[in-house]
Structure 1
């Protein structure tokens, strides 16, 4: 199967980032660094624990927010872990998010939690790279991969990786469900125009459950206060929060305020 997604069809900022990422990774050699010997805990298992799990994100900047925080990834990840986060998301895209592979390696050495490699997966080689870096999971965006989502999910599983399969609308949800995703991320942010609508995750989350989805549901984008998470508790298994946590400077306390247990 040809595993090159048609990125010419991806509009807006998402298309711009994805095409640039493809140009950078298409000629990647196999990872030059040896696979990490650090433990690789399961993201799926972490998200299936009781209560609403928090995936806390190490994030320096974004296209929507610009510069967010100058931070040391290992220090922040350790604070997140002490605060009660059940997993860490690490941006490794360098241009729009100021991330790097070195950030993920530093976090893997600093904490024993599952790590989501947050990047724009457009080539199978990135899955090998994620495994070598010590990630537990990768991000697969249906708006980028389209009908190749299932093939990339299968490849990720062959690498021993979980995958957060991300959707934003009903059509993308259908693709994710048909791919047999086990972790379904619903992004309140439209990655084309970067606008946030927090009704998106509950609406699509209910639809996913009605369609029989029994895996882990993750709500993404737009959350910064405990009250905003209340509507997620009976439906979602986890929430991914980045900007508000990274900006807080007191990362442990910020996580503690957003961490709920049943």
Structure 2
């Protein structure tokens, strides 16, 4: 159940193919003896716009952001600033993340934790559960028609999934796959450009199509005023770069949440 990654263009294809080479030889981890993680959906259903704050050291678009940050310290600061969930990048080469970051964050905070990675192999879903994640990221531009199958894998593993889309065709596929949490990425993962009109446009399309699940806006948010365009339409917003590079993580999160 491996996606056809040769069709994925640009930086997204490059990262996804490298990730597959790294994980395809891994063994499925033993069934973890872990309590059920807190639900991402529960955090997103709280009143107002829920902040998913991201532990992020670098990215292909921004280069180095906060390379020396300690994942657990940053996560605790985010939660103190009102973040209702934490996103942890575990891709090592382009984002300088690690599985150990996720373990440390899970031990440090009691809010839901999203494993932010390029899911291209079933073993990564089992890994996410073993690491203590609450949810996995499924990128429709990578998985294509396999999105529904990976959703089933996540459910079987006791995980939720943030199903990420960037255009109308991907949104239709996410809806048909049965996604319950849809993330709309303002960033084009092929050329890395950002257009903040993308999330409101696709969010309205999803609601017009009858989607009653949860919507998360992603990428391009640097101050609280920008979040006004999401109110009443989205349930959550995922913010990484602007928070991580602040080096005053609690204050940066609080500025976004009002806590």
TM-score by length of 2: 0.97
Give 1:52's match in structure 2, choosing from 29, 49, 54: 49
CA contact (8 A) 1:38 1:108 kept: no
Paired residue total:
258
State the Cα distance separating 1:234 from its structure 2 match.
Answer: 1.1
For 1:41, the equivalent position in structure 2 comes to 38
Alignment partner of 1:199 is 2:166: no
Aligned counterparts of 1:108 and 1:98: Cα–Cα separation in 2: 18
For 1:239, the equivalent position in structure 2 comes to 237
Give 2:212's match in structure 1, choosing from 214, 238, 250: 214
For 1:229, the equivalent position in structure 2 comes to 227
CA RMSD of aligned residues (A): 1.2
State the Cα distance separating 1:165 from its structure 2 match.
Answer: 0.1
Give SS of 1:56's match.
Answer: strand
State the Cα distance separating 1:4 from its structure 2 match.
Answer: 1.1
Give 2:22's match in structure 1, choosing from 16, 20, 24: 24
For 1:189, the equivalent position in structure 2 comes to 187
Aligned counterparts of 2:179 and 2:222: Cα–Cα separation in 1: 27
Give SS of 1:85's match.
Answer: coil
Aligned counterparts of 1:203 and 1:30: Cα–Cα separation in 2: 39
Aligned counterparts of 1:196 and 1:164: Cα–Cα separation in 2: 20
Give SS of 2:237's match.
Answer: strand
The gaps in structure 2 that reach 5 residues or longer are: none
State the Cα distance separating 1:37 from its structure 2 match.
Answer: 3.2
CA 1:110/1:102 → structure 2, altered by over 3 Å: closer, same or farther? same
The gaps in structure 1 that reach 5 residues or longer are: none
Give SS of 2:164's match.
Answer: strand
Aligned counterparts of 1:210 and 1:28: Cα–Cα separation in 2: 42
State the Cα distance separating 1:38 from its structure 2 match.
Answer: 5.5
